[in-house]
Amino acid sequence: MSKEIKIKVCTGTGGMAAGGENVLSLFRNALLSAGIDATFSEKCSVDKVGCRGFCGMDLLVDVIVDGKKITYKYVKPEMVDRIVQEHIIRGNPVVEWMVEDDFYNFHKKQTKVVLSQCGEIDPEDINAYIEVGGYDSLKKVITSMTPEETISVIKNSGLRGRGGAGFPTGLKWEICHRKKSDKKYIICNADEGDPGAFMDRSVLEGNPHSVLEGLTIGAYSIGAEEGYVYIRAEYPLAVNRLRKAIEQSRQKGFIGNDILGKRFNFDIKIKLGAGAFVCGEETALIASIEGKRGMPRARPPFPVDSGLWGKPTVINNVETLANVPYIIKNGAEWFASFGTEKSKGTKVFALTGKVKNNGLIEVPLGITLREIIFDIGGGIEGEKMFKAVQTGGPSGGCIPAEFLDLEVDYESLAQVGSIMGSGGMVVLDETNCMVNTAKFFLEFTQAESCGKCTPCRVGTKRLLEILERITSGNGKEGDIELLEELSYYIKTSSLCGLGMTAPNPVLSTIKYFRDEYEAHIKDRRCPAVVCRDLITYSILEELCTGCGACKRACPADAIRGIRKKTHTIDTSLCIKCGTCFDVCKFKAIMKS
């Protein structure tokens, strides 16, 4: 019988959706009923861990017997018994359920700093974090460093804001530190609104204490006694874990009065966002914490001069703060050894869309898009052609294949018409329509525009109308030029970042995929066969077996035919929902 057994079950949002909680308790029960260390003492543990990144293979479970780790993928409740019986009791891992090369390739080119403990430790237990060196950096800072020394380490590391704009973190702290005020605030911006980005959620779910530690070090540096975490209510699990973490941290004396016996007081409150994308903008976020409509205001004054309730305020993103403890621990030079000349360190990206390996990755800045998409991501799903990668969410743009060898950093992405943003990377393949993609983002920004300034409120609406016209086959000659002109004015005259970047998806798709726009306008044709008004569905006689699956599935009763005879689609009834296309096993449904 083995001496030490550890089982780690992913319970991030992805893991939970794949039944993580259930599998966790099944493992506990199976070990109990097998009579293996019924008490779950130090020698045998079943732990929930946070997101380990590879959400596409959930549920992932690590079984570690005497230090030898085996990872199982797609674990389902009914697989638990066999894993316990064969692997844990008899010592024969279940080979057919183990992860394969793609899992290891996914991790090969990654460098994990922020994510280093995500998926390794129990996020709901502060002791697990302390055991791996957690809160050591806070101790170091408070007991042996002045705020100025702390700021200088962060400055020298070259850390830049990971929320998107890339402002140097140390400099921001320094400016606020120098301000004289009876009160200062520090806010952690966890209003991760970019669709397609989930690094902040994963860090908060997987290692919330690292963020709290970074926030407290920041507070010490600038001289704040009150801090806030402004987090989206759409992330219930992260909120829950953050609450627990703050409570535990307070009990241990890492936040509260006289922290670590020194004369430093700091406490953290949680503020829940109420579902407005614009609140990720710092002045809007402040308005929202103050209980108002989350509308941005003109800057200057910047929040470091006049922020929350008019006091000097620093706002840092989750990932930025999660880097801080590691920089303090390992030194500025260590951090600066990763990355490019102007962009230091590692960055977490959410790699999703049409790639084989979907998930959260952390890579040194300066890595190429090709390495990310093809080496880590494993290439395009279903052996289709790569078309573009969308970075930076609704504020970013689409980068085509010709730039695959681009080294990723803040400046290079901006040069090709996109942005780093918070780190969303959505891969598009040949079956994605670029005009439709631009329309999708404009639907988003138009709905999320707060309405305060006219260029953004009216401009995004007009952009969307033109895109709707084009995708429905009613585009006019000159529409592309109109889009470009309008985009220019919106970019240059909007009040805040939302409006200033909203046209990016339109401009970048026009720049690199003008032919697709032209096909929609001139030929009334959607080359990727996506835009609903421009396609028709039909049934290929030679492939149809008359099985009737499409007929049963059709919600509009638009399919006719008798069993074992070729079926047909009545186009006057067809609502183009695509259900038949999905259910046909014989590929007999054609989109054209």
**Residue whose CB is less far from other proteins, 18 or 145:** 18
Alpha helices in 376-478 (DSSP H): 410-415, 434-448, 454-471
365 in Cβ contact with 345 (< 8 Å): yes
Instruction: Please report, as residue ranges, which positions from 481 to 520 form the binding site for other proteins (by CB under 8 A).
Output: none
**Which of 11, 13, 137, 412 touches other proteins by CB under 8 A?**
13
- Residue in 440, 193, 208, 226 with CA at minimum distance from that of residue 312: 226
**Rg of the chain over all Cα atoms, to the nearest angstrom:** 26
- Rule CB under 8 A: is residue 578 a binding residue for other proteins? yes
CA distance 3 to 394: 52
Residue 197 binds other proteins, judged by CB under 8 A: yes
From 129, 266, 277, 338, residue interacting with other proteins (rule: CB under 8 A): 277
Please give the C-alpha separations between residue 512 and each of 198, 397, 400, 403, 506, in angstroms, as whole numbers.
27, 10, 7, 11, 10
- What ranges make up the beta strands (E) of 249-345? 267-272, 313-317
| Pairing between β-strand 386-391 and β-strand 226-231 as defined by DSSP bridges | unpaired
- With b for 16 or more beta-carbon neighbours within 10 A and e for fewer, the 423-433 pattern comes to bbbbbbbeebb
Told to check if 241 binds other proteins by CB under 8 A, we report no
Decide: is 201 part of the binding site for other proteins (CB under 8 A).
yes
Restricted to residues 60-119, the positions that interact with other proteins (CB under 8 A) are none
CB of 128 or CB of 199, closer to other proteins: 199
Q: Are 443 and 486 in contact (CB under 8 A)?
A: no
Asked whether position 448 contacts other proteins by CB under 8 A, the answer is yes
Residue 444 in the binding site for other proteins (CB under 8 A): yes
555 binds other proteins (CB under 8 A): yes
> How far apart are CB 522 and other proteins at their closest, in Å?
25
Site for other proteins in 393-432 (CB under 8 A): 393, 424, 426, 428, 432
- Binding of other proteins at residue 385 (CB under 8 A)? no
- Tokens 């402002």 belong to 167
Binding footprint of other proteins, residue count (CB under 8 A): 63
Q: Are 123 and 303 in contact (CB under 8 A)?
A: no
With contacts defined by CB under 8 A, name the span among 82-90, 162-170, 349-357, 511-519 that binds other proteins: 349-357
Token pair belonging to 309: 């309730």
Record the tokens describing residue 3, joined without a space: 């001496």
- The C-alpha atoms of residue 13 and residue 553 are separated, in whole angstroms, by 31
> What is the rounded CA–CA span in Å between residue 316 and residue 216?
12
- Pick the binder of other proteins from 11, 189, 288, 316 (CB under 8 A): 288
Q: How far is the CB of 447 from other proteins (least distance, A)?
A: 9
Q: How far is the CB of 443 from other proteins (least distance, A)?
A: 8
Q: Which of 50, 56, 345, 455 touches other proteins by CB under 8 A?
A: 56
Please count the residues of the chain: 592
Q: Which residue from 313, 352, 395, 460 is in contact with other proteins, where contact means CB under 8 A? A: 352
Stretch that binds other proteins, among 37-45, 170-178, 222-230, 275-283 (CB under 8 A): 275-283
- DSSP letters of 523-534? S---TTS--GGG
Nearer to other proteins, 225 or 234 (CB): 234
Q: Is 292 in the site for other proteins (CB under 8 A)?
A: yes
By CB atoms closer than 10 A (0-12, 13-18, 19+), residue 66 is: exposed
Task: Kindly state the greatest CA–CA separation across the chain.
Answer: 84
Whichever of 320 and 422 has its CB closer to other proteins, that residue is 422
Binding of other proteins by 342 (CB under 8 A): no
Query: Could you say whether residue 275 binds other proteins (CB under 8 A)?
Result: yes
Q: Which stretch binds other proteins (CB under 8 A): 50-58, 63-71, 129-137, 323-331?
A: 50-58
CB of 483 to other proteins, least distance (A): 20
- Report the alpha-carbon distance of residue 343 to residue 336 in Å, rounded: 9
User: Quick count: other Cβ atoms within 10 Å of Cβ 77?
Assistant: 13
Among 5, 7, 9, 16, binds other proteins (CB under 8 A): 16
Binding site for other proteins (CB under 8 A): 13-14, 16-18, 54-56, 58, 192-198, 200-202, 233-236, 272, 274-277, 288, 290-295, 350, 352-354, 358-360, 390, 393, 424, 426, 428, 432, 437, 440-441, 444, 448, 450, 553, 555-556, 575, 577-579, 582-583
